[in-house]
Structure 1
Amino acid sequence: MAFMPFVTAGDPDTETTAAVLLALRDAKVDLVELGFPYSDPIADGPVIQASYTRALGNAITVEKIFAMMTSLKGQGLPPVLAMVSFAIIFRHGTTTFIRDAAAAGFSGLIVPDLPADEAEDLLAFATAAGLDLVQLIAPTTTARRTQQILQASTGFLYCISVAGTTGVRRDLPPELLDQLRNLRTQSRLPLAVGFGISGPEHVANLESVADGVIVGSAMVRRIA
């Protein structure tokens, strides 16, 4: 079971973020999701929102994040994926962002506010630059939209465990396992489960049907 922690870039500063990434390398995590702070995140709960607010208050920028990642090249980091709003990508310039992300050493992008049926251009640019574009799929996703997501996703599928925002939860929904089994029949992509994953009991419950877990709020709370 792959372990993918989430880290906010620049909370409290890029030096700390760089140290955390190196510590995660030493801990031999499988992948890292690096959040680009944004003032209006649509999918994040209070813990990650507060982390973004702190980073923005400390003047984090896209350029600083890319510079930090560039400084860590050649140091054996696990694959790092950018969790980034499309508004940030668009503001930076889509092709420029893709180019700079690839040059800085990112392995892929997760863009939670870009619908799969609008992701064709970004997918093409990312693929050409050697970056994965990971799509999110929710328990409420319709069969038609599921097919669009499967066609627009590379790397793995980010399976949201519950409807709503990120955050630590005591229990995962009982229907989640069946939903993952159904997805398994439709795609060969690895399935990584996020939103609400915080304890070993969650991992144990998912081990038979998922390929990885993403731990966000619980990780951010520890770093803060």
Structure 2
Amino acid sequence: MTSRVSAAIDAARAEGRGAFVGYLPIGYPDLQTSIEAAVTLAENGADILELGPPYSDPVMDGPVIQEATTAALAAGFKLRDTFTAVREITSRVDVPVLVMTYWNPVLQYGVDRFADDLAAAGGAGLITPDITPDAAGEWVAASTRTGLDRVFLAAPTSTDDRLEMIVRESTGFVYTVSTMGITGERAQLDAAARTLVARLREHGAAHACVGIGISNAEQVAGVLEYADGAIVGTALVRALRDGGLDGLAATAQAIAGGTKPRSL
């Protein structure tokens, strides 16, 4: 089964550019607005959507995203709202939708049930930041059965053996962590990301997208000199918070400008 996520990256590459992966939390500032925000993001340059169900213990999220997910939980977000959102978004745009979720909510919901409901809603797969492939046997089986993508994370501290396993078990792309620590904007992206992508290539990774700390078109362009895609989250959440859907659209367009070759 062809990965829609890989296909989106390949389609961007065929246009001579890298892919823009945009993250937003589901349910912020409310469920319907978060759906409109995701559609807005897809219509303003995002090649792949990464949607995060709010979680009460977001160990990897920086303050802007934590603030948004806390507000969504306070407003009554339930995990089943994930599938409602994905279903409506995928009925309106063709951009593949990945769900970025911590593992505990999937376990609580039921791994097979989660996979079935996500596939039925038109979702493309999961990004799972806090589970490694060797601990994810149930998810590997469920995703293989349903044709969903499995995006695992690789960090600069990962050993070669671990990178080999991550590349082997990931589909869609490998989520390449640019710096160790939480998400958020950084003035200078860690050079470790470039080295890590090179190591992933040595282990056979066809698609590597870099996330954590990327917030503007210039940083996107820098990452795309060596990676297949750039993942942006905090800057988009802040744009939605401060400027609503119009602010989000303008920020997404500006960031998407960084995916184009500099000669154009």
Scaled to the shorter chain, the TM-score interval is: over 0.9
Q: CA deviation at 1:163?
A: 0.5
Q: Residue 146 of structure 2 is aligned with which of 115, 125, 129? A: 129
Q: Does 1:217 align with 2:234?
A: yes
- In structure 1, C-alpha distance between the alignment counterparts of 2:191 and 2:68, rounded to whole Å: 30
Number of residue pairs matched by the alignment: 224
Deviation by residue 1:77-99 (Cα, 9 ceiling, x = unmatched): 41010001111001111111111
- In structure 1, C-alpha distance between the alignment counterparts of 2:113 and 2:191, rounded to whole Å: 43
Q: CA deviation at 1:153?
A: 0.8
* Residue aligning to 2:125: 108
Deviation by residue 1:44-103 (Cα, 9 ceiling, x = unmatched): 111111111011001111112212322344322410100011110011111111110111
Letter in 1 for 2:77: I
Q: Does 1:41 align with 2:61?
A: no
- In structure 1, C-alpha distance between the alignment counterparts of 2:88 and 2:221, rounded to whole Å: 36
Letter in 1 for 2:202: T
SS in 1 for 2:126: strand
* Residue aligning to 2:197: 180
Letter in 1 for 2:229: G
Q: Is the 8 A contact 1:14 1:65 kept in 2?
A: no
Unaligned runs of 5+ in 1: none
- In structure 1, C-alpha distance between the alignment counterparts of 2:192 and 2:117, rounded to whole Å: 40
* Residue aligning to 2:79: 62
Unaligned runs of 5+ in 2: 1-17, 242-264
* Residue aligning to 1:4: 21
What TM-score comes out, normalization by structure 2 length? 0.81
* Residue aligning to 2:164: 147
SS in 1 for 2:236: helix
Deviation by residue 1:85-126 (Cα, 9 ceiling, x = unmatched): 111001111111111011111101011111221112201101
Q: Is the 8 A contact 1:154 1:189 kept in 2?
A: no
What TM-score comes out, normalization by structure 1 length? 0.95
* Residue aligning to 1:205: 222
Letter in 1 for 2:138: D
* Residue aligning to 1:195: 212
Q: Is the 8 A contact 1:85 1:111 kept in 2?
A: yes
How well do the aligned residues superpose, as a CA RMSD in angstroms? 1.3
- In structure 2, C-alpha distance between the alignment counterparts of 1:63 and 1:11, rounded to whole Å: 15
Q: Is the 8 A contact 2:167 2:200 kept in 1?
A: no
Q: Residue 134 of structure 2 is aligned with which of 117, 136, 157? A: 117
* Residue aligning to 1:171: 188
Q: Is the 8 A contact 2:62 2:184 kept in 1?
A: yes
Letter in 2 for 1:126: S
SS in 2 for 1:62: coil
- In structure 1, C-alpha distance between the alignment counterparts of 2:187 and 2:158, rounded to whole Å: 23
Structure 1 segment 67-106 matched on structure 2, within 5 A? 67-106=84-123
- After the TM superposition, which segments of 4 or more aligned residues of structure 1 sit over 3 Å from their partners? none
Q: Is the 8 A contact 1:160 1:195 kept in 2?
A: yes
